[in-house]
Chain A
Amino acid sequence: MQLSAEAIETPKTAQTAVRDIYLPPERKKISGGGVPHLSAKNFSIYYGEFEAVKKVNADILSKYVTAIIGPSGCGKSTFLRSINRMNDLITSCHTTGALLFDGEDVYGKFTDEVLLRKKIGMVFQKPNPFPKSIFDNIAYGPRLHGVKDRKTLDGIVETSLRKAALWDEVCDRLDKNALGLSGGQQQRLCVARTLAVEPEILLLDEPTSALDPKATAKIEDLIQELRGSYTIMIVTHNMQQASRVSDFTMFFYEGVLVEHAPTAQLFTKPKDRMTEDYITGRFS
């Protein structure tokens, strides 16, 4: 059975790991959101012979924030990176099952991974701005996709930086090298750079693990700002962060999706014993 927006209010038993979905009152329901944006069907990822992610079945609902937690090596980053096919860089990596993005198989024969990555943007663990000016960093994607007009570019750069809450800090030095920014600013720049190509899904791979608490708070605020405009998936080691920013949480253990539920439910009434052990810190 497919998940839908109604599922958020009326808990139903589902084949997927998502059961009894509800949102706490302080988390507003997003209108127009809540349809499955990504669907994994018996989706497995292998590194050579090794099965890193095992037969995942899950629906990621559009415009909501989904957090992925789990101990190191559980396959959460592998799963995230497989969504926009960044794992293609690893030659031994291959998949079975299906991962549907808007009903189309991400790993289908005729899928254009370049177009796919335009629609599914990604921000990485370590801030990775290009060694270019701030402006050129943001404009890199739009230029790539054919925007040449300087005025249009100016507009895109400004809106992207505003969306990433960085505009006020850098508006007077857009021509300066991006590597001169602080770590937190660099990471927000990377978010802005991704937003500039107008993706539908935003994948965040431990975006705050290299940042200090203040910068982390800013990134978390930013995720709250973007919630409702983009489907966001965030891999994190920090369970407080997951509970703070996300609507849904997926818990992976040794490649298996153990539990997938609304965040408030997963952290207060986990269905699975393993989830409970993990979130209470009995193992990690």
Chain B
Amino acid sequence: MNLGTRKLLDRSFTALGVGSIVIMGMMLLVVLMPILSNGITANVFRGTIEHRKLLYNEFRRGDHAELQRQIAESDAARRKAYAMMAAFEAEMKLMSEEKHAGYQEKYDQVKSAMKALLGPVPGEELPELTRFKYGQTRWSKAEERLHELLYEKQWDYSNPDVEAKEYDVSRAASFQGTSLVKLFPYVESNIDRMLLPEWTVYWGFITDSSIDSHMFGGIWPEIQGTIFLAVGAMLFAFPLGVIAAVYFTEYAREGFFNSLLRSANSTLAGVPSIVFGLFGLAFFINTLKVSESKSVLAGSLTLAIMILPTIIRSAEEAILSVPKTYREASLSLGSSKWNTIVTVILPAALPGILTGGVISLGRAAGETAPIIFTAAVSVGSAIGLADVFSSPTPALSWNIYNLASEHEAASEIRHVQYGMVLALVTIVLMLNLSAIILRARISKKLKG
């Protein structure tokens, strides 16, 4: 092979490598960008007066005097709309029975659209659920509701061969000739004054509890639950894993029993996480009865069992990679085996052990299946530290799934789902980043 060919080969391999890294990076961007851009909207958005009312009523947050001024301003704009509706209701009473019935259904639609947009009509009894007590808190949602108020959705069945198409029909047209017809242009042009949107940074999304099953409020219970579960899992798995790794590398004699243990450990690392979840339910809750039903404790134990093989493996690798010479040096100075392990080998293996530990911590934070049956509830408040032995907790991973697929108003709270995903991704990334930094710092200290 001549020099030219060799160089060409080298270059093409370099190009291949760089290319694949670029493709991977772009794929990562494609995944992360929507998470980031949509997740941010949970924190930063154009909030309406309804949002500020909610914050004040539920959390006593915000400037009361300013809020009252804004409420007065928006009420002034709203009052005219409600007056138009009241006038139409009076008009309907004077209509013939037949005409009245014709308008009633359409008017009810308008009324519920108005309620969805601006909240309950003044003077009516307040509904039970918080989600019906307020109008749209987010401007982007308000715009959608406004569209629903202005236009009626109709389906075009004219061609039986193709799927029916939907099209919009102006509601104003169907109230032609009545007093209500003025309502639609009025609301459309005065929606700003009715809702007073302004850019809001809502950090409470991270620190608040949710209100009315995630319709409003934040995701703190989920974040806290995730931290409890992951840290709890580490408390069990990390010491156990390191001790097991020390046994495997330092004490175990090569033999049938030892190789059996090792292969059992490898097999355990490949078991699907849902199996661990069922195991946790059957073993920790039903057999050992560590708690009466789901609890953080049971979930942590289950997660611990799941990440244990990984921790053992990485700790084993780290211990084996400690130079033999350290061991020899320590032993030759009259150190016992145990002392050598504690004072020389484990400190030198610490970067590797910690890296494995933090990566496992990230995995424990992100796993869904093991906690479905053992620890997670879909909605709940943040639990105290003393309750971890008996109470279940909401957790990010499980609630992301729950909100996206099982929530009764899943499409209404997309921003919460994205916000949770962003929070989870951030937590896991931060854990991994801290692992890298920790590793670098300890290695630097060891290398001098």
A residues within 8 Å of B by Cβ? 84, 86, 89, 91, 114-115, 117-119, 121-122, 124, 126, 128-131, 140-141, 144-145, 176-180, 190, 193-194, 197
In the assembled complex, 23 residue pairs joining A and B whose CB atoms fall closer than 8 Å, in A order, are: A86-B331, A86-B332, A89-B327, A91-B254, A114-B334, A114-B335, A118-B333, A121-B333, A122-B328, A122-B332, A124-B329, A128-B325, A128-B328, A130-B330, A130-B344, A131-B326, A131-B347, A131-B445, A176-B448, A179-B448, A193-B329, A194-B332, A194-B333
Cα distance A129–B330 in the bound complex, in angstroms: 10
Query: Out of B331, B344, B445, which one reaches A117, CB within 8 Å?
Result: B331
Nearest-neighbour CB distance to chain B for A112, whole angstroms, equals 10
Bound complex: CA of A179 vs CA of B348, how far in Å? 13
Interface presence of B411 (CB below 8 A): no
Q: State how many residues of chain B have any CB contact under 8 Å with chain A.
A: 24
Return the 7 tightest CB-CB contacts between A and B, nearest first.
A177-B448, A118-B334, A128-B325, A131-B446, A122-B332, A141-B333, A180-B448
* Distance of B445 from chain A, by nearest CB (Å): 8
Does B170 belong to the interface (CB within 8 Å)? no
| Complex interface: chain B residues within 8 A of A194 (CB) | 332-333
Separation of A126 and B328 alpha carbons in the complex (Å): 11
User: Is B343's beta carbon under 8 Å from chain A?
Assistant: yes
> What 0/1 pattern do residues 297 to 335 of B give for CB contact below 8 A with A?
000000000000000000000000001011111111111
B441 in contact (CB, < 8 A)? no
B333 in contact with A117 (CB, 8 Å): yes
B336 adjacent to chain A (CB < 8 Å): yes
Do the beta carbons of A91 and B253 come within 8 Å of each other? yes
Is there contact, CB below 8 Å, between A144 and B325? Answer: no
Cβ contacts under 8 Å, A119 to chain B: 334
Q: Is the CB of B329 within 8 A of A190?
A: yes
Given A128-B326, A130-B326, A131-B348, residue A84 in contact with residue B448 (CB < 8 A): no
Complex CA–CA separation, A117 to B329 (angstroms):
11
B259-293 contacts to A, CB under 8 A, are none
Given contacts A131-B445, A140-B335, 12 further A-B contacts (CB under 8 A): A86-B332, A89-B327, A89-B328, A114-B334, A115-B334, A117-B331, A130-B348, A140-B333, A177-B445, A179-B446, A179-B447, A179-B448
| Least Cβ–Cβ distance between B319 and chain A, in angstroms | 15
* A193 and B328 within 8 A (CB): no
Closest A residue to B339 by beta carbon equals: A144
- What are the residues of chain A within 8 A of B333 when measuring CB–CB? 117-118, 121, 140-141, 144, 193-194, 197
Task: Kindly state the separation between the CA atoms of A119 and B339 in the bound complex, as whole angstroms.
Answer: 18
- Among B253, B333, B446: residue with most chain A CB under 10 A: B333
The answer to whether B334 and A140 have CB atoms under 8 Å apart is: no
With a CB–CB cut-off of 8 A, which chain A residues contact B446? Answer: 131, 177, 179
Which residues of chain A have C-beta atoms less than 8 A from B254's C-beta? 91
Q: How far, in whole Å, are A124 and B328 apart by their CA atoms in the complex?
A: 8
- Measured CA separation A86–B327 after assembly (Å): 10
Which residue from B253, B334, B447, B448 sits with its C-beta under 8 Å from A144? Answer: B334
Contact B331 A140 (CB under 8 A): no
Give Cα A130 to B447, complex, Å. 10
Most chain A C-beta atoms within 10 Å of own C-beta, residue among B326, B347, B448: B448
CB distance from B355 to the nearest CB of A (A): 17
Residues of A within 8 A of B348 (CB): 130-131
In-complex Cβ contact of B334 among A124, A130, A145 (8 A): A145
Smallest beta-carbon distance B118→chain A, Å: 68
Instruction: Name the one of B330, B332, B339, B448 contacting A131, with C-beta atoms under 8 angstroms.
Output: B448
Quick one: CB contact mask for B385-412 with A, threshold 8 Å, 1 for yes?
Answer: 0000000000000000000000000000
Whether A130 contacts B329 in the complex (CB less than 8 A), given A140-B343, A144-B339, A180-B448, comes out as: yes
Partner of B325, one of A84, A124, A177: A124
Instruction: Name A144's closest neighbour in chain B (CB-CB).
Output: B335
In Å, the complex CA distance between A121 and B334 comes to 8
Interface centre among A89, A131, A193, A197 (most CB of B within 10 A): A131
B residues in contact with A114, CB < 8 Å: 334-336
